[in-house]
Amino acid sequence: MRLLFLGPPGCGKGTQAKHVVERTGGTYIASGDMLREEVKNQTDLGKKAKSYMKAGDLVPDDLIINMIRKKIERDIENASFLLDGFPRTIPQAEALGMMLDGLNQPLQKAVDFQVADDEIIDRITGRRLCATCSAVYHVKWNPPKSDGSCSACGGDTYQRPDDSVETVKNRLQVYHRQTEPLLQYYRDKGILVSINGSGDISEITARIEQSLGLTLKA
């Protein structure tokens, strides 16, 4: 399928997106992961993006659109992909629409995960990631089997620098101001699917499965 996962920071879209792509295949395009790689490699884009990401602000549209355009042109050779975290503004959505129309592969569904702001703060401040394979954990709700090391590959886990309480509060404000208007944008296109993002990770997976008519069980 050609999917977009939308929602506030920490709503669980990355956790669910990885699960969906593992089960159904297709190209996974996560703008946040791509940007963190650019920062790590100290590329020109990474150097420009770093301060915005650290503050919890959006990286300017032209930089992001360029990065995603290159990825889509290079990697989307089949009709199945999942976009996670892009687009986040109306200009980004319009640019994406033009790119996909040009490839004759328009989005089929935009999935919005609804989670209250208080729960978001608990989720993000407890998040830990594997430095080697990028697996995502939560200290309380989805801990690795042994503290500080990844259950999948044994790599060290770490906390993202933008996962502090203060930065998360700003990321939530940015989401409500700049990204939430996309819900109406995709509702008007008739492809918005809203999912309650509260509950166990497996419950949310079951809701996605039901809403999209997919089979995601292991």
Catalytic residues: 13, 88, 127, 160, 171
Only segment of 7-15, 38-46, 150-158, 206-214 that touches ligand AP5 (CB under 6 A):
7-15
Helices 61-75 and 31-40, axial angle in degrees (round to 10): 100
Q: Which residues pair with 111 in a beta bridge?
A: 5, 193
H/E element, 6: strand 2-6
For ligand AP5, the closer of residues 136 and 212 by Cβ is: 136
For ligand AP5, the closer of residues 104 and 150 by Cβ is: 150
Our finding on whether 144 is near ligand AP5 (CB under 6 A) is: no
Our finding on whether 99 is near ligand AP5 (CB under 6 A) is: no
CA–CA separation, 165 and 156 (whole Å)? 22
Site for ligand AP5 in 102-121 (CB under 6 A): none
Radius of gyration of the chain (CA): 17
Among 81, 82, 85, 207, binds ligand AP5 (CB under 6 A): 85
Site for ligand AP5 in 63-82 (CB under 6 A): 64
- E runs forming strands in 14-166: 27-30, 81-84, 109-114, 127-130, 136-138, 157-158
Our finding on whether 96 is near ligand AP5 (CB under 6 A) is: no
Tokens of 75: 């990697």
**Left if phi > 0, otherwise alpha if psi is -120 to 50, otherwise beta: which for 37?**
alpha
Contact 144, 111 (CB under 8 A): no
Contact 7, 115 (CB under 8 A): yes
For ligand AP5, the closer of residues 104 and 218 by Cβ is: 218
Q: How many CB atoms lie within 10 A of CB 119?
A: 15
For ligand AP5, the closer of residues 46 and 104 by Cβ is: 46
* C-alpha count within 13 angstroms, C-beta hemisphere, residue 198: 8
Our finding on whether 205 is near ligand AP5 (CB under 6 A) is: no
Our finding on whether 15 is near ligand AP5 (CB under 6 A) is: yes
Among 19, 26, 46, 52, binds ligand AP5 (CB under 6 A): 52
Contact 108, 191 (CB under 8 A): yes
Only segment of 3-11, 40-48, 71-79, 95-103 that touches ligand AP5 (CB under 6 A):
3-11
For ligand AP5, the closer of residues 2 and 13 by Cβ is: 13
| Site residues for ligand AP5 per CB under 6 A | 9-15, 31-32, 35, 52-53, 56-59, 64, 85-88, 92, 123-124, 126-127, 136-138, 141-142, 162, 171, 199-201, 204
